[in-house]
Amino acid sequence: MSRAGRIARRTFLVGAAAVAGGLAVGYYFYRKPFPNPLEDGLAEGEATFNPYVKIGSDDRVTVIVPRAEMGQGVATTLAALVAEELDVELDAIVVEHGPPASAYANVTMIKDGLPFPVFDESTLANLARDGVGVVGKFLAIQGTGGSTSTTDAFERMRQAGATAREMLKSAAAEKLGVAAGTLRTEAGRVVDPASERSLSYGELALDASALRPPSDAALRPRSDWRLLGRSQPRTDMHAKVTGAPIFGVDVSLPDMLFATVRMSPRRGARMVSIDAAEAEKLPGVVKIVPLRTYLGEGYGVIAKSTWHAFRAADAVEAEWGEAPFPPDDAGIWSELQRAMETDAGTALRNDGDVDTALADAPRERVVEAEYRVPFLAHATMEPMNATARFADGVLDIWAPNQAPTLLRTVCAREAGIEEAACNVHVTYLGGGFGRRLEADYAVFATRLAMEAGGAPVKVIWTREEDITHDMYRPAAIGRFTARLGENGLPEALDMKIAAPSIMASVMPRFYPALSALGPDATVVDGSYNQPYRIPNYRVAAVKAPLPLPVGFWRSVGNSYNGYFHECFMDEIAHSSATDPIELRRRLMTDFPTALGAIEKVADMARWGDPLPDRRARGFAFTLSFGSWVAEIVEIADTPEGIRIEKVWIAADVGTALDPSIVEAQLFSGAIYGLSAAMNQEITFADGMVEQSNFHDFDAMRIHQCPQFEVAILENAGRMGGAGEIGTPPAVAALANAVFALTGKRVRQLPLSREVAFA
Amino acid sequence: MRLTVDGKTIDIDAEPEMPLLWALRDLAGVLGPKFGCGIAACGACTVLIDGAPVRSCILPVAQVEGDVTTIEGLARDGTLHPVQQAWLDGQVAQCGYCQAGQIMSAVALLDEIPEPTDEEIDSAMSGNLCRCGTYPRIRAAIKRAAAMRAGA
Ligand code: FES
Ligand code: FES
């Protein structure tokens, strides 16, 4: 067992006890399966087999995909899991999100929050993972995040399809008077090959659903898959090319009012005064409502249209108090710096004896560097929004959201009602990237609905409100030291990273009475758990006490640790005059999956071949969310600035259930990372965010978009995620390419601080 | 105020300075065009006016002269427009939020330049932001649509 494991376990136990609030008492409760939430909402003639499958007597098969569709294709892939086992075609089923319910808890998401590298297969790591499975179910968080949806659903939803299939066969066997074992299923029918008689699922559904579910329905072996492992047409594509009203902003209800909010531009500051007299006189205004909530203060404007609300909100005069954090970047960085210097942090990886190895290192063998990354906004294409109606003691919320059970908890609490009186309707998401795990926009909508006399209120934020009121990707500082051995390989690597803790920031937004104890693995995620063997290897996390709202941003800690770790590796390679890929070959000999991805990408790009003038390449590798990803970025020096010409990605995801969707996620993730690496930063002045819209917080445009070549590998033993894994290595590979092209080692993002992009 | 939207005449009771986007979305219930930025910086709200792409978030409704076409008016009798079909075939959309605007810009581009070069695609489409990064498939779909129309 590694030392990292021992340290982590102790702190984990403290954290788990706090989170679970009495694990032992809850044990029996967890064992009982959750009730099937579909039982309450069945239509005439409709039957439900389990929380994932409904079949109507009209043969309509509905599959519940209780995860947020935010572009990552989860609706298609998870529906295919059920369809595969149930023997129905994907275009013959209806996919619904379903109600928020404990039955849909995402256990994998919580498991992956544990401080163990994925390759740590020690008993301890597995035990803890199983233990947290209990915690996850106990808390019953239905979340879409951490690239866990597919992994989490892989067994469960195939099982749901297989169980329903077997029940349908049993019902048919009874009707046909033959043994169930002789029957087949295909295209929504149970067939008796001997007599060539068949019955449709619709004819069998009511009887079948009354049967006892078998506990041993066999899952199809991979060799028999018809749908899985092959690219499927996405179930949401038609709606998305025809402009169908599927998003949160598109919710339309009778007598609906429109609204917007303006919360304190200094996050966490009080609203000292508000003067709405002029604004109230503007046409179209229904009501201006001061908002004082546990998530911040400000005001909302209810109006006859969104535009009327925006205009009146501009006309309100309000004064704001001081921000509870240093008001500008200089102060924020020095706070981070101080945390770095005064706090020893928690070593989440600690192999060998780093202190001794570094103590007597000869000067010329030491490589040292300090890196920084800025705060970042998510800037989902669809601005934050939610629609709420509070009538007769019942609260209904329509929202594009990644964690509906949490959303229900906070909104019901805000309205002072039982959760049972709060219905959450999840729409399609115009982008999530982690921002929509939060529920702030729904809490504000709840408050406005409580002032609207029972009318539904659709609350849409301006882009300016969205950029200035995000839960940002944390800024971070990393300080790194390496000692090189005679052979040029690092003998010791010491990494210390300080950042505001995401867990400490997120937790009180949902459970104000709870605090996140113990270390926060997200601070070093992507640095402490990489598949390198270095004899003395320490990675310490410092939780910087900065009360700025930070949150999950596509690939979370990996988004900057990929940059830290892999750019510093590039520095090590450069210092020892070793080719960067060769360095990895030598340090990753114990990890064939990593090597496989690296060799593949090197092959694809013909790494090592001479390049034309004014071109250069960078390489990086990051293991994140259980997937092993190597990327090469090629850039060119042009008169307009640096152009990103081409990106090669080789990703080992273990099992790729839908290659087209995985490919799309890989280049999507890379573009998201490249956008940030090139130009994005959120900065502060006078306690307020300085950026406000796409003119000063832009992202990659089509003319900046490189060509992509993607290879999907399936050698890893476990299935990994896909939605976030393209992001971390893209950032580092671009920075390394910039070094190769210009000789500038840019140690603070965005790269545009030091070089210009075309 | 009278507008022609997707071939239908609609009367809207709007203040003249109300942007077309909000008149369409909140008053006329035409929800295809999306709100992304409100400052003509993202293209999510793109509609066509007499065939030319326009950012409806900054265009006062009183200044609309000509027929408005939104994403909802592209398909004819249930048959997708070739650009929509190319988008479907190429599995372009991810979250989908920017795609109404992307498709409208692509329709305008192909109406003007039936076989655009890479540079022409880039310059016609660079005002349409996609946070999901669907650009590689957008490029491919525009070429597919161009080929489809050439073959038709
Ligand atoms: S909403 Fe009109 S360009 Fe962004
Ligand atoms: S598909 Fe999501 S923003 Fe373009």
Residue at which a domain ends, from B22, B52, B72? B72
Cα distances (angstroms) measured from residue A574 to each of A57, A450, A580: 68, 61, 8
Specify the CATH number for the domain of residue B51.
Answer: 3.10.20.30
The protein residue with its alpha carbon nearest to ligand 1, atom 3, reads B40
Q: How many CB atoms lie within 10 A of CB A614?
A: 11
Residues B122, B68: one domain?
no
Tens digits of residue pLDDT in A180-200? 999 999 999 999 999 999 999
How many Å apart are CA A647 and CA A636, to the nearest integer? Answer: 12
Q: What is the DSSP string of B45-103?
A: TEEEETTEEEETTSSBGGG--S-EE-GGGSSBTTBPPHHHHHHHHTT--SS-TTHHHHH
Number of domains, chain B: 2
Ligand nearest to the CA of A700: 2
Residues B86, B127: one domain?
yes
Tens digits of residue pLDDT in A345-394? 999 999 999 999 999 999 999 999 999 999 999 999 999 999 999 999 99
Radius of gyration of chain A (CA): 27
Of the residues B131, B135, B138, which should be mutated to test ligand 2's pocket, given the most ligand atoms within 8 Å of the CB? B131
Specify the CATH number for the domain of residue B132.
Answer: 1.10.150.120
Residue at which a domain ends, from B72, B98, B121? B72
**Helix-helix angle B135-151:A659-679, to 10 degrees:** 120
Q: Do A700 and B133 touch (CB under 8 A)?
A: yes
Is residue A721 within 6 Å of ligand 2 at its C-beta? no
**How far apart are the CA of B65 and the centre of ligand 1, in A?**
19
A50-59, A272-281, A282-291, A476-485: lowest mean pLDDT where? A50-59
Minimum CA–CA partner of A380 in chain B: B131
Mean pLDDT of the region A223-249: 96
Of A241, A247, A702, which has the smallest distance from its Cβ to B80's Cβ? A241
Minimum CA–CA partner of A692 in chain B: B37
Q: Do B131 and A672 touch (CB under 8 A)?
A: yes
| Residue closest to A232 by CA, chosen among A664, A621, A623 | A664
Domains (ranges, CATH) in chain A?
33-106+141-240 (3.30.365.10), 248-323+384-460 (3.30.365.10), 329-376+472-753 (3.30.365.10)
Tens digits of residue pLDDT in A562-578? 999 999 999 999 999 99
Residues B87, B140: one domain?
yes
Query: Is position B106 within any domain?
Result: yes
Residues B91, B139: one domain?
yes
Residues B89, B42: one domain?
no
The interface predicted TM-score of the complex, written ipTM, equals: 0.98
Provide the mean pLDDT of chain A: 90
Written in H, E and C, the secondary structure of A636-662 is: EEECCEEEEEEEEEEEECCCCCCHHHH
Cα distances (angstroms) measured from residue A45 to each of A176, A210, A282: 21, 13, 52
Minimum CA–CA partner of A378 in chain B: B131
Residues B101, B135: one domain?
yes
| Residue closest to A92 by CA, chosen among A69, A66, A60 | A60
Strands A61-64 and A93-96, sheet pairing? parallel
| Residue closest to A499 by CA, chosen among A536, A553, A571, A538 | A553
Residues B110, B131: one domain?
yes
How many Å apart are CA A224 and CA A85, to the nearest integer? Answer: 10
Residues B95, B141: one domain?
yes
pTM for the whole structure: 0.92
Is residue A431 within 6 Å of ligand 2 at its C-beta? yes
Residue at which a domain ends, from B26, B46, B72? B72
pLDDT of A57 higher than 60? yes
Greater model confidence, A513 or A389: A389
Plot region of B87 (φ>0 → left; ψ -120 to 50 → alpha; else → beta): alpha
Greater model confidence, A109 or A699: A699
Of B15, B96, B130, which has the smallest distance from its Cβ to A240's Cβ? B96
Using pLDDT thresholds of 50, 70 and 90, give the confidence band for residue A104.
confident
Residues B58, B90: one domain?
no
Residues B63, B6: one domain?
yes
Of the residues B37, B132, B135, which should be mutated to test ligand 2's pocket, given the most ligand atoms within 8 Å of the CB? B132
Residues B65, B95: one domain?
no
Mean pLDDT of the region B127-139: 98
Residue B128 lies in domain: 82-150
| Residue closest to A171 by CA, chosen among A116, A229, A211 | A211
pLDDT of residue A755: 98
- Distance in Å, alpha carbon of B44 to nearest chain A alpha carbon: 8
Radius of gyration of chain B (CA): 15
State whether the Cα torsion A373-A375-A379-A384 is positive or negative: positive
Residues B38, B96: one domain?
no
Atom of ligand 1 nearest to the CA of B36: 1
Q: How many CB atoms lie within 10 A of CB A280?
A: 15
Greater model confidence, A626 or A147: A626
Query: Is position B77 within any domain?
Result: no
How many Å apart are CA A646 and CA A209, to the nearest integer? Answer: 53
Of B19, B71, B133, which has the smallest distance from its Cβ to A672's Cβ? B133
Tens digits of residue pLDDT in A656-698? 999 999 999 999 999 999 999 999 999 999 999 999 999 999 9
